[in-house]
Amino acid sequence: MPAGALQGTVDRWNAHAAAGNDPDFHRGESHHDRAWGDPAFGYTPQATIGPLDTPPFYATRVRCGALGTKGGPRTDANGRVLDVDGAVIGGLYAAGNAMGSIMGMTYGGHGGTLGPGLVFGYLAGGHAAERAAREMP
């Protein structure tokens, strides 16, 4: 997506957030949306709609896929996969739905796996890069 198109999308979203509605996806119109919203805004559509105005910003393409494994390997704080005895398996990392969920056998709701995928992907990537740099001659 060209940078100008992204800026246009953000501008459109921010205008809708300021107006307190989402005509594109109707976010905040259902009971379910409002129940999962930010409690600071009460049980209102605005609890699910907010401006994109405070960096840092991250973006990723979201596509359809499996909801999750409801399992997967255990990992440490750096996303390194652990064996059955809790020891690190060198060079093996997992993030998102490929790892054991930080929520155990539950699912937190819409998009609940995106945050852990982003965070643990970032941590695992950073750790792997540091490891690679230490091992370079």
Digit-coded pLDDT (tens) for 48-78: 998 999 988 887 887 776 665 667 899 999 9
Enclosing domain of residue 33: 3-48
Within a domain: residue 75? no
Within a domain: residue 71? no
Within a domain: residue 11? yes
Residue 124 · residue 78 · CB < 8 Å: yes
If you write DSSP's letter for every residue of 65-122 in order, what string do you get?
-----S----B-TT-EEE-TTS-EEEEEE--GGGS--TTTT---STTTTHHHHHHHHH
* Measured distance CA(67)–CA(106) in Å, rounded: 12
Digit-coded pLDDT (tens) for 90-103: 999 999 878 887 77
Within a domain: residue 27? yes
Say if residue 43 is in the same domain as residue 85.
no
Mean pLDDT over residues 73-89, rounded? 94
pTM: 0.51
Report how many domains make up the chain: 2
Within a domain: residue 68? no
CA angle, 113 then 119 then 125, to 5°: 125
pLDDT of amino acid 93: 95
